[in-house]
Structure 1
Amino acid sequence: MLIDVQNDFVDGASPVEGTAERIDTMAQLAAIFRAAGRPIVHIVRLYLPGGSDVDLPRRAAIEAGGRVAAPNTHGANIPEPLLPNAEGDLDFELLLAGSPQHLGADEVVMFKPRWSAFYRTKLDDHLRERGVTTIILAGCNLPNCPRATLFDASERDYRAVLVTDATSQVTAQRLSDLQLIGIHLATTSEVRDGFEGSGSVTLTPSGNPGIRDKS
């Protein structure tokens, strides 16, 4: 799962420090999942200028007409290196209606209106239908949407792994806080090693990705 990796948050209207530098690693992570035939979910934010269905810190600015990740703009799209093909434009009408946009074999985009990817979305149903029990997550701005999503994943009894070198705004304290609720930490190379070893990534007793039962 890749959270909020959109042009405006990379190098556009509202860049998040450290995100641009991690795009190549995020792309490697996505390629690992495609090669393994595993589900990929891109989660995006979309703010309608003048709209009020926005998290509180940005609400006043968006209601005043601010344009951050606005539908039908380049800034709202996912950077091309993360996509399975060069056609990177999102179907904003479809996403805002709450439906997933299919990009490839078991690869979709979903829109979320707040911090967590589970809030007012069909993400949980999407994952359960595929028998997913372990979420491997990366993306933009750890203390906000990735962290909220990881907390909600834990509350739904998913095992969760944060890919630390494919996530921006990572600090030692933030990682320690996540470990306290059972979030496992891994690097992209460790995820790759797990897939190459058995075709699946699982969790060893030490908490690092390894080879075990299907996840």
Structure 2
Amino acid sequence: MTDPHLAPHWQSAALVTIDMQRDFLSGRPYGLAGTTEIIPALRSLADAFRAARRPIVHIVRLHRGDDVDRVRRTLIAGGAQLTRPGTDGRRLAAGLLPGDGPELDDDLLLDGRPQELGPGEYAVFKPRWGAFYRTPLDDLLRGHGVDTAVFAGCNLPNCPRASMIEASERDYRVVLATDAVSQAGEQGLREVAGIGVVLLPTARIVAALAAAG
């Protein structure tokens, strides 16, 4: 039985997808293996959250200027076309939004404001690994009455892990969709479970949302 202090509250849950942009997909020059492969599970999650009328936030990266993770500064300064504003590669992966969805508003996002993509669905730009660092994510979730954050996306050791730690620090109940996150090894899953993250496959999350009505 899940610890009651950790158990998800599905009627006040939101889905947070991390860095599911075309430049990070499997086989791209800066892509991560296994990321394209999780799109079907992510699509199922997004469809379930939309059906439940629960919020969805797509966290994105945009690399412009030198406000970049130190480990990527040499790469970006050298002209690497990695999630550059205005490029196709910074768009969300096909299938995550109904149709192609609206174009990302780079200026709005870089200004630190959420972009509404549909009813209760947003894009938010993060400048570093964690989705809460220098972003409006916490205010956005609290404004929707969210106390449970379900994470999925690319790639577990870096941005999803950092984001889940930040969510835990803010006292959210935290869930990881284990088959909807790339680069998820057994040790990494054990480690995030050790900080109170509830590990569930997509099918269990979808069923729980439906049961919560």
Deviations 1:73-108 (A, max 9, x none): 000000120013323421111111111111111000
User: How many residues get paired?
Assistant: 197
Equivalent position of 2:21 in the other structure: 6
Alignment check: 8 A CA contact 2:101 2:117 kept = no
Length-normalised TM-score, structure 1: 0.89
* 8 Å Cα contact 2:48/2:210 also seen in 1: no
Q: Which runs of 4+ in 1 moved over 4 A?
A: none
Please point out which of 36, 58, 80 is paired with 1:42.
58
- Letter of the structure 2 residue corresponding to residue 196 of structure 1: A
Looking at structure 1, the residues matched to 138 and 203 of structure 2 have their Cα atoms a distance apart, in angstroms, of 27
- How far apart, CA to CA, are the structure 2 residues paired with 1:15 and 1:75? 10
The answer on 1:156 being equivalent to 2:170 is yes
Within the alignment, does 1:167 sit opposite 2:181 as a pair? yes
| More divergent stretch after superposition (139-148 vs 76-85) | 76-85
Q: State the 1:21 CA deviation.
A: 0.8
Equivalent in the alignment of 1:117:
131
In 2, are the aligned partners of 1:77 and 1:88 still within 8 Å (CA)? no
Query: Which residue of structure 2 aligns with residue 33 of structure 1?
Result: 49
Query: Contact 1:43/1:111 (CA < 8 Å) preserved in 2?
Result: yes
Give structure 1 stretches of 5+ with no counterpart.
200-215
Following TM superposition, by how much is the alpha carbon of 1:56 offset from its aligned partner in structure 2, in angstroms?
A: 1.4
Alignment check: 8 A CA contact 1:163 1:187 kept: yes
**Counterpart amino acid of residue 88 in structure 2:** H
The CA deviation string for residues 6-50 of structure 1, in whole angstroms up to 9 with x for no partner, is 0000143311110011111111110110011000000000012xx
Q: CA RMSD in A?
A: 1.0
The residue correspondences of 1:101-116 to structure 2 (distance < 5 A) are 101-116=115-130
> Which blocks of at least 5 consecutive residues in structure 2 are unaligned?
1-15
User: Aligned to 1:75, what secondary structure does the other structure show?
Assistant: helix
| 1:22 match: secondary structure | helix
Structure 1 residue aligned with 2:7 = none
Query: Are the aligned partners of 2:39 and 2:180 in contact in 1 as well (CA < 8 Å)?
Result: yes
Instruction: Determine the structure 2 residue equivalent to 1:202.
Output: none
Higher relative contact order structure (alpha carbons within 8 Å, sequence separation ≥ 6): 2
Aligned-residue sequence identity (percent) comes to: 50
Q: 1:82 aligns with which of 91, 96, 113?
A: 96
